[in-house]
Structure 1
Amino acid sequence: MPTTAELVALIAEPSESLSIEHKSWLDLSERHSQATLAKAVIALSNHGGGIVVFGMRGDDAVAGLQSLPRPDAIGRYRQDDVNAAVNRFAEPRVHCSLLFARHPNTNVEHAFVVVPGDEHVPVMSRRDHAGVISAQRCYMRKPGPQSEEPFTAQEWRSILDRCVRSGRDDMLEAIRIIVQGRAGVTPDDARLEQVVDFTSRAISRWNELTENLPSDDAGKMPLGRYELTFDLQNVPNVATLANLRDRMAAAGQTRHTGWGPFVTLHREPLTPYARERCIEAWLGAPDVERYQRTPAHCDFWQANLDGQFFLMRGFDEDGVQSRPAGTLFDVTLPIWRVGEAMLYVARFARALDDNASITLRATYRGLGDRTLTSWNGRRAIFDNRRCRDDEAVIQTQASAVEFEENLVEVMHPMLIPLYERFDFFELSAQMVAEELAEMRANRF
């Protein structure tokens, strides 16, 4: 489920994508509005999930999407009303979640309908409403973005492939419960040497960029950070940086959180740029007007023509105003953040060759005296488990197929040494599986 910060980002810096649809306020007591919402939800469900954002609409092409207050005639939405409206038209039934968040500037409360994407069959409409939706039609998301019927074989294939994958994930989860397997191996010394060398050069470059920032600036991630370095083998070379950029954009089409790995922003000086044999982005540049500039939103990343990826990010925990920075370590975030990055790189690699092998080395810095917690209350953490080490390095090597299809088995043994730093906390495979399932169900 998306966090409040992720929801606020959708209205503070709105940009529509295939998994996000912004709509003006709809009166869900009216059939026309019910049909409009149902069509959007059906299309998003067939896309693999997404979010409908209410109260963001504008006719001014220059100003873009604007925050609009809910009309007095329209009452505050209720989840039962949302699902009743959707399932008047949808077959099979789709159970959506309803969340709310306020715009940071207008203080307008917006509604968010979170659409799941775990159906094993395509979702279709079961009745007509003139000019909006037609019976026995299957809708999908298309560039624009817009919700339309699939017309080509490729469009139908994308819907059916998603349904097959959803069924396969359930089957693998059932097998996983019976037999807790492992995947991934310890990287060999030669590959680790390449990874460490690339990591060192990337950090040196980041030090150059942040040299003139104050020591306590969020862009310097002063209290802690993590670094993820990926190295791809058994893949053909990417010939040009433009081709690398396009392949990264394709891999980034699937987003499970609002601030995913290798974030691409489209305004200077935050937009990625070409540098030597790599694409580089630094999101910590000072004096840039933006909604959030916390350590967790000042990423630095590189990707090069040799199939190497580096991502540095500060801890989300250090940007929570109600909690003292530098003291907490959330029990679920490493699973979500590392897991999403692994899936991103696996998609990139498999687009080049299904036989791709991936080495991952992750370094966590600034762990000393942090206490394990669950900042959203989803996990019960007791005993004030504290970390005495300041740094932890974890690593694994597996195929791109294993990254995608056996992610729990790859991640669980890799993460155990990190969690053990917190007074021998025992990370269970079940918790990794549950959190990854929750993360993969999200679409942004």
Structure 2
Amino acid sequence: MSAQIEEYIDHPVENLHVEYKDWLNLSEPIHRANLARHMAAISNHGGGYIIFGFADPTMTSTGENPFDASHYTHDGIAAISQKYHEPAIHCDVEIAKGHVVIRIPAHANVPICAKANGPMVDSKVKGIVSGAIYIRKPGPQSVPITNAHDWSELIRRCVLHDSAALLKALGAALLPPTMQSSDRTLDLKEWHDATRAAYVAELGKNRRPGYLKSNYTQLSYIIEDGEKNSIRPDLLKQVLREVNFEMRDLVNTGWSILFPFDREPISPYFTSDPAVVERGPFLEQSLVSEVDSGPNFELWRVSPDGIVSVIRPIRTDFLEFGGWQELRYFSPNRAARELAELVRHAAGLALRFPEAQHVSFRCEWAGIRGRTINDELRDWSPRPAAKTDSVMSTGRWSIIELSSNWPAIVASLLGPVTRAFDPTLSLSKDWVAAEAQVWRPLGNHYP
């Protein structure tokens, strides 16, 4: 079960991207049509969840599903989408703490449209209407588009998806002219260092284990936009949520980087930092004080003008696996996966900046001295222990390369840290691409 899903189940709060439902008899056409409407609206909102087994409005659990469970499987939900949606929505379905959760991806380059009517009741179509395009509105409600304003965000996401597909198609051979945007690596270093200082202060304030201050992974990037565009602050959290759903086409492990939670007090908030005062207020989320699980003690910051950093423990220190001990191992496999998430996140966020041409990265692994290479799911031959305590890896690539050549970027950023263990260890882009085949354990039901 994903930690993000666990959060939604333990602390249910309905919002535009999460719909809580009591158990429905999905053999009844009216219930299938209503569910299809919510699925379409959430997909057109940028993705989200439908969680069954909660009473409305009390948000209390209603116990076991009393209806035919076959309707609550991947095949059962897919059948509903095949009947009512054009294009069909490829959802993941899982059971978590006795609740069925439908994970609904964002629409692609066209919105989800209803292609069939729901049942007729008293001479009226109920549930879903053929030809309608549904969106989410406060309430929350799943309602058809009725005015021009409702189209704006939906069209924006369609255009972004087309842009991403175009960048992949162009490939690394057709790069935009270089150096048309300023190199902001000094800004990135300042942001990276300030985020680390804030994280260390949070650990101390909350009396977390002392070794976390010097054993961490920190991943940062900055979008180079020559026109100095920025995302509207009031839209930044929703944009991050959209990007988070988009990057699950590559990595979908259940604890993704830069995920914006909703529950107070762990929901992201706007703040400022004297160390980066010229950046202005930025969005920050800290799980250090409110989350009890050690591997999830993390902090991230995102500025509206496209500078990002996330810092978290070295997660192999928290593995419940025979023979594993904290501060003992380093996994290149996990490091590659985290870097791929970062590169995919940067590619998605950069599309929100019309003039963006390049992204610079700054990645740091601290506390590796004395560790050896190992992974709980991969066999590594004995390698020397690292003799240096920290490694910094940097690089700068075009927006096109982020989409078309991401395995090579991950391999390049990973190289400095693996060579700290073994100077001869070179993990290629082909190795990264092969590893990526196991980065989606929570489902592969994507277009």
Shorter-chain TM-score: which interval?
0.7 to 0.9
Instruction: Kindly provide the amino acid, as one letter, of the partner of residue 406 in structure 2.
Output: V
1:432–1:384 distance in 2 versus 1, CA, 3 Å: closer
Residue number in structure 2 paired with 1:127 = 117
Residue number in structure 2 paired with 1:342 = 346
Instruction: Kindly provide the amino acid, as one letter, of the partner of residue 339 in structure 1.
Output: V
Residue number in structure 2 paired with 1:100 = 95
2:217–2:311 Cα contact (<8 Å) kept: yes
Instruction: Kindly provide the amino acid, as one letter, of the partner of residue 21 in structure 1.
Output: E
Report the Cα offset of residue 147 of structure 1: 1.6
Instruction: Kindly provide the amino acid, as one letter, of the partner of residue 68 in structure 1.
Output: T
Instruction: Kindly provide the amino acid, as one letter, of the partner of residue 283 in structure 1.
Output: S
| Alignment pair present for 1:9 and 2:7 | yes
Report the Cα offset of residue 41 of structure 1: 1.8
Report the Cα offset of residue 10 of structure 1: 2.3
Residue number in structure 1 paired with 2:122 = none
Residue number in structure 2 paired with 1:80 = 75
Deviations 1:233-252 (A, max 9, x none): 635487xxxx9743533532
Match of 1:248 among 236, 241, 257: 236
Report the Cα offset of residue 382 of structure 1: 3.6
Match of 2:226 among 234, 243, 246: 234
Residue number in structure 1 paired with 2:363 = 362
1:146–1:414 distance in 2 versus 1, CA, 3 Å: farther
Correspondence 1:66-215 to 2 at 5 A:
66-75=60-69, 77-102=72-97, 109-117=98-106, 119-125=108-114, 126-129=116-119, 130-156=125-151, 158-163=153-158, 165-166=160-161, 169-170=164-165, 172-173=167-168, 176=171, 191-211=184-204, 214=207
Q: Which runs of 5+ in 1 are unaligned?
A: 103-108, 376-380
1:49–1:442 Cα contact (<8 Å) kept: no
1:396–1:410 Cα contact (<8 Å) kept: no
Structure-2 separation of matches of 1:41 and 1:262: 21
Structure-1 separation of matches of 2:109 and 2:440: 15
What is the DSSP-based 3-state SS (H/G/I as helix, E as strand, rest coil) of the residue aligned with 1:211? helix
1:29–1:169 distance in 2 versus 1, CA, 3 Å: same
Residue number in structure 2 paired with 1:261 = 258
1:234–1:142 distance in 2 versus 1, CA, 3 Å: same
With normalisation by structure 2, the TM-score equals 0.72
1:228–1:118 distance in 2 versus 1, CA, 3 Å: same
Between the aligned residues of both structures, percent identity stands at 18
Deviations 1:280-334 (A, max 9, x none): 7462554x4xxx4334432234456986543322244444434634435244532
Structure-2 separation of matches of 1:293 and 1:156: 41
Structure-2 separation of matches of 1:436 and 1:235: 36
Q: Which runs of 5+ in 2 are unaligned?
A: 120-124, 249-254
Aligned residues: 410
Residue number in structure 1 paired with 2:428 = 426
Structure-2 separation of matches of 1:180 and 1:439: 34
2:78–2:90 Cα contact (<8 Å) kept: yes
Residue number in structure 2 paired with 1:314 = 313
Report the Cα offset of residue 370 of structure 1: 4.8
Report the Cα offset of residue 229 of structure 1: 4.9
Report the Cα offset of residue 361 of structure 1: 1.0
Structure-1 separation of matches of 2:62 and 2:177: 50
Deviations 1:26-61 (A, max 9, x none): 11111122112211222233344432221233323x
Structure-1 separation of matches of 2:356 and 2:216: 35
Report the Cα offset of residue 134 of structure 1: 1.4
2:226–2:355 Cα contact (<8 Å) kept: no
Residue number in structure 2 paired with 1:224 = 216
Deviations 1:182-214 (A, max 9, x none): 89999x998544433443344334333433555
Residue number in structure 1 paired with 2:286 = 283
Report the Cα offset of residue 111 of structure 1: 1.0
2:340–2:410 Cα contact (<8 Å) kept: no
What is the DSSP-based 3-state SS (H/G/I as helix, E as strand, rest coil) of the residue aligned with 2:364? strand
| Residue range with higher mean Cα deviation, 354-363 or 158-167 | 158-167
Structure-1 separation of matches of 2:376 and 2:168: 24
Structure-2 separation of matches of 1:93 and 1:307: 33
Structure-2 separation of matches of 1:404 and 1:411: 7
Instruction: Kindly provide the amino acid, as one letter, of the partner of residue 200 in structure 1.
Output: D
What is the DSSP-based 3-state SS (H/G/I as helix, E as strand, rest coil) of the residue aligned with 2:69? coil
What is the DSSP-based 3-state SS (H/G/I as helix, E as strand, rest coil) of the residue aligned with 2:429? coil
Residue number in structure 2 paired with 1:105 = none
